[in-house]
Amino acid sequence: MGYSDGSSVIREPVLADSQMPNTPFLRNCWYIAAATEEVTSAPMARRIAGERMVLYRTVGGAPVALIDECCHRGVPLHLGTVIDDSIQCAYHGFTFDPSGACIRVPSQKSPPPNARVRSFHVLERHGWVWVWPGARTPDPLLVPDFSEADGKGWTVTRGVLTYQAEYQHVVDNILDLSHVSFVHRSTFGSDDALAALSFKEIDGILHGVRAAPPMPTPPLYRRLGFSEQIRQTKEMIYIAPCHVKAPITTFDLSNVGGTENEDMPRQVTLCILNSPTPETAKTCHYFWASARNFDLGDETLTSLLREQTIKAFQEDQLIIEAEQRSRDEGFRGGFAVRADMGGRMARRILSRRLEQEAGDSPRVESNLANASRGSANPTASSLPMANYRSDGIC
């Protein structure tokens, strides 16, 4: 279950570029497509897992997601106009209802019976609009529990950044918190290199805990009034393909010896919700929310945390995009250490899901991929694999 030998280095075979393709996209799953407030009665374009989508709201406020290609000559529908619950193409006025059916062709009496565009399942939860690109019937219960973002007992701030990098590199980054003391030295940076690290897969969900011994209080927590030493437990809950809930619980310690102060047993949790939705094979929309369970009404603190969180994600962005460029330029090496365990186990889970998906409905998925130009849908077997054990020991 745990990982006991902190000095171990796990050598992996050198992988040629042909063995390190871009991460394939899982299709039968929920992805965050947009923040609730982004989707309005004005059509917006967004590419999700390779699919060009147009998003808008009906008169009643329901979100709609259609493929962003008119079935007549392929003009993007987001250039058109929403009329009542439907969207009218900007070129010749073909009009499509929320199911994708063409209900009007202005140049003739009635539309051809087979004229339609693809529609996607869509729902709204936790302040985001989610889409399901796959052919299988979606299960709303498969939306990750990001209920901290609902704001009951939590103060929430959120945003989205576009990274010029494969989404799985972002997942690797979130699951490998050993980068925090380097990349986030000026913000959340905590010197917890000696933290105990364990990962365990339960029912296809990866649970990780990084429990750090007493350490100097990082800059942000000093600004929150913490004393000179803290202890931190960072949890990571990964749900394939790209969702990671990461509650960070910080305990204030009273002295250099690391004894918890009975008179000031301060303990706070900052829960970071991460969802780097793949856009293309090499870009992603990194949706995030930061929820805290302390000082709920302190607006100055909200602004500070928002500013620091965005700064931290930009720090990640700089590094992850640099990693992507290096890979694009032919980086062929690479080996894993203890801290890479979470990312490797997550890739294993994703690989299994892709294999299942390919086995479930290869013909339907392949037809859909063909019908959705611009989407990448490589086979599961193209994922780089490593040697794993289900107990989390590489």
Give me the residues that bind ligand FES (CB under 6 A), please: 70, 72-73, 75, 89, 91-94
Provide the sign of the torsion angle of the four alpha carbons 345, 174, 9, 16, taken in this order: positive
What span, in angstroms and rounded, lies between the C-alpha atoms of 301 and 320? 28
Nearer to ligand FES, 72 or 200 (CB): 72
Nearer to Fe ion, 69 or 166 (CB): 166
Report in angstroms the alpha-carbon separations of 347 from 27, 142, 365, 386. Answer: 16, 19, 21, 9
Nearer to ligand FES, 90 or 268 (CB): 90
Min dist. Cβ of residue 68 to ligand FES (A): 11
What span, in angstroms and rounded, lies between the C-alpha atoms of 202 and 208? 11
Min dist. Cβ of residue 319 to Fe ion (A): 8
Choice from 316, 340, 357, 365 touching Fe ion (CB under 5 A): 316
Report in angstroms the alpha-carbon separations of 365 from 25, 54, 143, 372. Answer: 12, 21, 21, 10
- Per rule CB under 5 A, is residue 148 in the interface with Fe ion? no
Min dist. Cβ of residue 64 to ligand FES (A): 17
75 binds, among ligand FES, Fe ion, none (CB under 5 to 8 A by kind): ligand FES
Min dist. Cβ of residue 274 to Fe ion (A): 10
Return the amino acid letter for 81. Answer: T
Min dist. Cβ of residue 200 to ligand FES (A): 51
Location of structure tokens 């500070």: 304
316 binds, among Fe ion, ligand FES, none (CB under 5 to 8 A by kind): Fe ion
Nearer to ligand FES, 68 or 315 (CB): 68
Nearer to ligand FES, 75 or 385 (CB): 75
154 binds, among Fe ion, ligand FES, none (CB under 5 to 8 A by kind): none
Q: 208 CB contacts (<8 Å, ≥6 apart)?
A: 175, 197, 198, 199, 200, 235, 236, 237, 238, 342
Nearer to ligand FES, 94 or 132 (CB): 94
Q: Write out the residues near Fe ion by the rule CB under 5 A.
A: 316
